[in-house]
Amino acid sequence: MYFIPGIIIAIATFPGVIIHELAHQLACRLMKVPVFKVCYFTVKRPNGYVVHDKTKTFKQTVVISMGPFIVNTVIGLLLYIPGHFSVKTGFIECLLIWLGISIMMHAFPSQQDLKHVFAHLKTKKVNFLAKIIVFPITCIMWVGTVGSVVWLDLGYAVLIAKLVEIAIVSA
C-alpha cells in the first residue's frame, strides 16, 4: 500500500464528501433537528460538516449519524451500475464509475458521529433490544471509519460494487 495524503484523497473523492454531508442534513430534516451550518466540502479537516442542534432521542442520533452510510451506498451504486454495465466505455461511463466509487468511499460515519451513538448506548434511556441491534453495527462502522487509513473505505466501495454486480449478473 502507498501512503497518499488525506487531502489528495479528499479532493479526488470530493463528490463522496458532498453527498455524505447532504445525507446528514437530510437526516436532520427527517428527524426534525434544526441545522445551523453546513459545509459541503473544504480541503481542511474535517472535509465537510453539519452543525445541528443537540439530538433529544436515540433514534435521532442513530439516523443522523448513520444516514450517510445508507445514502452514500445507494447513490454510489445508482451511479456505478449504469457506468459499469454500459455497452461502451467512454468518458461518461468512466465518470459514472468514478462518482459511484468515490461516493461509496465516504459512506462510513465519522468518528465523531459514532462517538455520539456510543454515548447514547451507554445511557439507561436506550432499551436493551436497541442496544443489541445498534451496538454491533456501530462497532463495524467504527472499524470501517478507522480503517480508512489502510484503504478500508475503498475496499468497502469496491466490495459492494462487485457484490451488486454479481447479484445482477446472476439474476
Task: Tell me the C-alpha distance between 16 and 47, whole Å.
Answer: 10
Task: Tell me the C-alpha distance between 158 and 76, whole Å.
Answer: 11
Cell numbers linked to 17: 464528501
Cell numbers linked to 21: 454531508
What's the pLDDT at 2? 58
Counting DSSP H helices and E strands in the chain, the numbers are: 7, 2
Give yes or no for a contact between 108 and 148, defined as CB atoms under 8 angstroms apart.
Answer: yes
Digit-by-digit pLDDT tens for the chain (171 residues) are: 556 677 888 899 999 999 999 999 999 999 999 999 999 999 888 899 999 999 999 999 999 999 999 999 999 999 999 999 988 889 999 999 999 999 999 999 999 999 999 999 999 889 999 999 999 999 999 999 999 988 999 999 999 999 999 999 998
What's the pLDDT at 122? 93
What's the pLDDT at 149? 85
10 Å Cβ neighbour count for 142? 17
Cell numbers linked to 130: 436497541
What's the pLDDT at 3? 63
What's the pLDDT at 8? 86
Q: For residue 35, what is the enclosing H or E element?
A: strand 35-39
What's the pLDDT at 88? 84
Distances (CA, A) of 135 to 108, 123, 129, 140, 152: 15, 13, 10, 9, 20
What's the pLDDT at 5? 74
Please, which contacts does 2-10 make with residues 24 or more away whose CB atoms are closer than 8 Å?
Answer: 6/45, 7/43, 10/41, 10/43, 10/47
